[in-house]
Amino acid sequence: MEVTNVSGPTVGGCDQLVGSSAGAEAVYKLIGQVAHLSAFVLITGESGTGKELVARAIHNLGHRAKSPFVAVSCGAIPESLIEAELFGHEKGAFTGSMASRAGYFEQAGEGTLFLDEIGELSLNSQVKLLRVLQQKEFTRLGSSKPLPLRARVLFATHRNLKKMVETSTFRQDLYFRVNVMTIEVPALCERAEDIPILAEHFLKKYAAECGTPIRGFEPEAVELLQNYDWPGNIRELENAIQRAVIVANRETIGVADLPPHIHRAGDNVISISGLKSRTAGLAESFEERLKEYKVKLATEAVRECKGNKTLAAQKLNLSRAYLHRLIRTA
């Protein structure tokens, strides 16, 4: 199955997925490839990149679309309650359990269970989850009757699970179990060409909510949005546009309507007066010297382009994401 039902820059099956960059298109393709399967999928990416939206798109495009989609943040559940919350419990199973309750695995039924931030699970909880995934059944706390796992399970994390395996904070057997297919959602700084599309998407959303007749952005505002690094990714961009819609008093959003920290980042984007004196203690290895030279070229290019990272990346024939990583080390 391919994700072909695309209306403008949004994806059929989940109209919250927006973008037409190469990175976004790669994600859409993988969504289409796994949507009709029952295989486990691990969705990775920084916080705020839209991992849950990817999970919902997989659900909506598959044959389980009419069944429940249950999203669970593993990091939000106390360790003492994780087993009861996931697998359910019988009345009297523990102090305070006044009635039986179906857990999230049971609530998902024939639909999809989305376990977000599985890297936050303790090793003890990881063992219990692994057993359920292997045996395809689970048991309510306080019961001895196994229940079949009927739901499809999707996973997500912003952590590097492979490194966690190396440090023995994530079980290797569970890692191999959940990592059947991986969809890596790119950071917003790696898909800067999608920023105007996303900004317009959020502008329409919040202008309609607020009943505000705002029709677009001033060019300087768009340039500032594209040159900002967005450490909070799409979530941060959405919040910035919502704020701009609230404070704007014209038909277009200008630089002054954007949050102050974005202004400051624009002003200082390359006041790399902080360019640390790299002559002190020159690196001994060839690789380190080469990296230093790359960083120097990148910072000089950004300075020559007056802080415009997109133009600097084009000048050096680099991706903006790679340029961004280089100047961060300066």
Place of tokens 């179906």: 102
Place of tokens 């997925």: 17
Where along the chain do its domains lie?
6-184, 189-268, 272-328
Taking CA atoms, 29 is separated from 9, 36, 57, 217, in Å, by: 14, 13, 12, 31
- What is the C-alpha to C-alpha distance for residues 106 and 127, in angstroms, rounded to an integer? 19
Residue 319 identity: S
Question: Long-range contact list for 293-297, CB < 8 A, 24+ apart?
Answer: 294/326, 295/326, 295/327, 295/329, 295/330
pTM: 0.78
Tens-of-pLDDT digits for all 330 residues of the chain?
Answer: 333 333 334 444 555 689 999 899 999 999 999 999 999 999 999 999 999 999 999 999 999 999 999 999 999 999 999 999 999 988 877 777 778 899 999 999 999 999 999 999 999 999 999 999 999 999 999 889 999 999 999 999 999 999 999 999 999 999 999 999 999 999 998 898 999 999 999 999 999 999 988 999 999 999 899 888 898 999 999 999 999 999 998 899 999 999 998 877 666 544 433 434 444 444 456 657 777 788 888 888 888 888 888 788 888 887 776 777 777 666
pLDDT value of residue 33: 95
- What is the C-alpha to C-alpha distance for residues 198 and 187, in angstroms, rounded to an integer? 13
CATH topology of domain 6-184: Rossmann fold (3.40.50)
Place of tokens 């990416």: 45
Residues 149 and 132: beta-carbon distance below 8 Å? yes
CATH topology of domain 189-268: Helicase, Ruva Protein; domain 3 (1.10.8)
